[in-house]
Structure 1
Amino acid sequence: MTNFSKSLLAASVAFATLSPIAAAPAAAQVVKGIGVVSLPAVVANSNAYKVAQQQRPVTYKPQIDQAEARRAAISAQLQPLVDKFNKDRQANPNNPALQQQAAAIQQIQQSGQQELQQLIQPVALSEAYVTEQIEDKLDAAVQAAAKKKNVQLILDPTQGAVLYADAAYNMTQDVLNELNALLPTAQLVPPQGWVPRQVREQQAAQAAAQGQTPATNPPAAGGR
């Protein structure tokens, strides 16, 4: 399983911890033409992202339940082995059998982790698919918000480019409004054979190095 499985299962946790979007004081004195936008906050607060987060546990309930049941089974299999290992180590730390016991436990853990990742892969793909649909609209949302606010320079504090900015410069809500208009909802289930952008770029680079034509993602089925 590729890095997207780890990235997207962690992405929802990271986005959930973001601070609420701050509104600018009505009487604030600001330099016109400059704005600050937190793109991660825009993504996390977008209608498309929040709706998908609500729908996913229902749509992928069979996969989630199967993974949870398998996780519990693996844990039940490991517990007596771990208990015996700890008991034997306490009785005789130099017992040569301890190394074999530890290796057996580690093997079961690694195999179980791979199995669980495979079971949950459709959920990770769904997260990647929704996020990519949102990212594809972000640039247009930023440009639309900048045009409406007559802003020529937009900075993203999450990229380390801003040390301080008054709340009056915050255009995150403006960009969020434009994004919600451009993408009210996102497709939850990716088409058959779809892979995330990072994987496509890797495949394209490998194909280019070999002088081949890279494969393309299948078109999305239905409308948003």
Structure 2
Amino acid sequence: MSTMTKSVALAAGLALTAVAAQPALAAKAAPAAASSTGGTIVQGLGVASFDAVIANSNAYKAAETARQTTYKAQFDQAQTRNTALNAQIKPLVDKFNADRQGGKVAQASLEQQAGAIQQMQEGGKAELQRILQPVGLSQAYVNEQIEDKLNDAVKAAMTKKNVSILISPDAILAVNGGAYNLNQDILNELNTALPSAQLVPPAGWEPRQVREQRAQAAGQQAPSAPATAPTGR
């Protein structure tokens, strides 16, 4: 049995997965107050999770709440369309599983059914992504505003707490002592620098990664300046 046929066969009662507009950052635990990883704090050594700081910032949380109202039409449209797509796909999956288990349908026919189901799934997900594109742009726009202020917030917090080396919690293998938890200090600086963020990006706005890729492509395509011919005397 091919990989495609297996994937459909295993997904009995398969329904199209909703392309939900989840926050760009996973929910993180609130940054702890000044603390250490254990033992005596090592002077000058700090630890911080930028993802946790961003996700707990006032600007980020306010935007997440406001987005549910501002983009309600897109959320509702996506949910309605997702329900309709599920209703279209489920009977096809049920038939496929029945045919496969019955053992009377040729493998070629099963492959054809599996291909049609997969095509509908992929097309449905792409459609939902198009519907929710404004939501994704809003998330990227808010995150970029926060990230633009994060570096200065980190520097300010490090300076105030005399931290010269800052590492991520994921990078810690072993510390003979403790590292100062700078999350709350960075968060305080970030909330001061950016109390709130603009939710709706301006017309034509593109995420930083897209802008950089576009600029790089333009640079590669730009013709080189012609060499200047020497002038005779």
Indicate the TM-score class for this superposition, using the shorter chain for normalisation. 0.7 to 0.9
Which residue number in structure 1 is paired with residue 15 of structure 2? none
Residues 110-155 of structure 1: CA deviation (Å, up to 9, x unaligned): 1111101100111111111111110000111011112222322222
Which residue number in structure 2 is paired with residue 179 of structure 1? 190
1:182–1:142 Cα change, 3 Å: same
Which residue number in structure 1 is paired with residue 31 of structure 2? 21
Q: Whose radius of gyration is greater, 1 or 2?
A: 2
Confirm or deny: 8 A CA contact 2:78 2:132 kept in the other structure.
Answer: yes
RMSD: 2.2
Confirm or deny: 8 A CA contact 2:46 2:163 kept in the other structure.
Answer: yes
Q: Which of 51, 63, 66 pairs up with 1:55?
A: 66
Kindly report which structure 2 residues correspond to 1:83-94, keeping only aligned pairs within 5 A, or say none: 83-94=94-105
Which residue number in structure 1 is paired with residue 147 of structure 2? 135
Separation (CA, whole Å) in 1 of partners of 2:126 and 2:114 = 18
TM-score, scaled to structure 1: 0.81
Which residue number in structure 2 is paired with residue 107 of structure 1? 119
Shift of residue 207 of structure 1?
A: 0.8
Shift of residue 10 of structure 1?
A: 6.3
Shift of residue 163 of structure 1?
A: 2.5
Shift of residue 93 of structure 1?
A: 5.0
Gaps of 5+ in 1: 1-5, 213-224
Shift of residue 91 of structure 1?
A: 2.1
Which residue number in structure 1 is paired with residue 212 of structure 2? 201
Shift of residue 98 of structure 1?
A: 2.1
Separation (CA, whole Å) in 2 of partners of 1:23 and 1:103 = 53
Shift of residue 203 of structure 1?
A: 0.9
1:92–1:203 Cα change, 3 Å: same
Confirm or deny: 8 A CA contact 2:41 2:179 kept in the other structure.
Answer: yes
Confirm or deny: 8 A CA contact 1:9 1:127 kept in the other structure.
Answer: no
Confirm or deny: 8 A CA contact 1:24 1:167 kept in the other structure.
Answer: no
SS in 2 for 1:33: strand
Equivalences, count = 200
Shift of residue 164 of structure 1?
A: 4.3
Gaps of 5+ in 2: 1-18, 224-233
Partner AA of 1:99 in structure 2? E
